[in-house]
Structure 1
Amino acid sequence: MVIEHNLDVIKTCDYIIDLGPEGGDKGGKIIATGTPKEVSNVEGSYTGMFLKKYFN
């Protein structure tokens, strides 16, 4: 298990659980789960939005 914000690390993960959409009271919900490629296709995932650049 890794808690990370570095996309070079995130894109190599086997599985991602993306929490959000924001921090604090506005976060803590599961926004996306799956491989980095799967998460990159989830609307509303900030992580997915940035990962998409690696797969397009």
Structure 2
Amino acid sequence: MNKNQVKGRANEAKGKVKEVAGKVTGDKSTEYEGKAEKHGGKAEARYGDLKSDVKKETK
């Protein structure tokens, strides 16, 4: 795993926790912030996956 994959998945998990915390407390701001962080983490993890795949193919 490369650093983008690790960081992306960590941000995805952190965002999910924020999203759920926002839903439980009724805080829409925290919920939406968590959703944004989760989706940003997914994007970064996918970038890391792509980067890893390209590196494997070029070897």
TM-score, normalization: structure 1?
0.30
- The structure richer in helix per residue is 2
Higher relative contact order (CA 8 A, sep 6+): 2
- The structure richer in strand per residue is 1
Answer with 1 or 2: which has the greater Rg.
Answer: 2
TM-score, normalization: structure 2?
0.29
